[in-house]
Amino acid sequence: MFTRSSFGRAKPKVLSAGKTGRYYFTLHAEYKMREYYLSRQRVIRIIRSPKRREVGIVPNTIAVMQPSSTKTVNGKEIWTQELWTLYRVNAEKKLSKTKLEALLGSAELKIISAWRYPGVSPKRDPIPSDILTEIEQLSESEA
């Protein structure tokens, strides 16, 4: 909802971290979603049906990717943009990869960040450096 300022211009709504079902969105994720024009439902859809899933850089995190739109050329899917989401399974201790996969269906998920990647990201290092520095700063401030 927009409110009017004294100059007649609409002031943007102040963001706040919030919970949608079993998904908890951090304030950082809300800002990134606004920056990259992503809705909460789109981020949840990326988590539910990713094209690629990788282990996140922070313990107990997972990074998932879905192409923004695909085209089929000569029987092969191609795309020009990827949508990424980094999330954490709320668990008290460090989990192995198999236990983490088992918890995905029922555990509460904390969405840390979301971003658009122009082009096709490499398989092993998909997270841009500016996102890495923001996440490191965020994790240091929570500790």
* Pair 115, 32: CB distance under 8 Å: yes
Which among 134, 36, 23 has a CA at the least distance from the CA of 83? 36
The answer to whether 44 and 23 are in contact (CB under 8 A) is yes
3-state secondary structure of 97: helix
Output the pLDDT for position 74: 93
Q: How many CB atoms lie within 10 A of CB 87?
A: 26
9-37: average pLDDT: 81
The predicted-structure confidence for 36-78, as pLDDT tens digits, reads as follows 999 999 999 999 999 998 888 787 788 999 999 889 999 998 9
**What pTM value is reported for the model?**
0.69
Average pLDDT value over all residues in the chain: 79
3-state helix, strand, coil split of the chain in percent (to 5) is 25, 30, 40
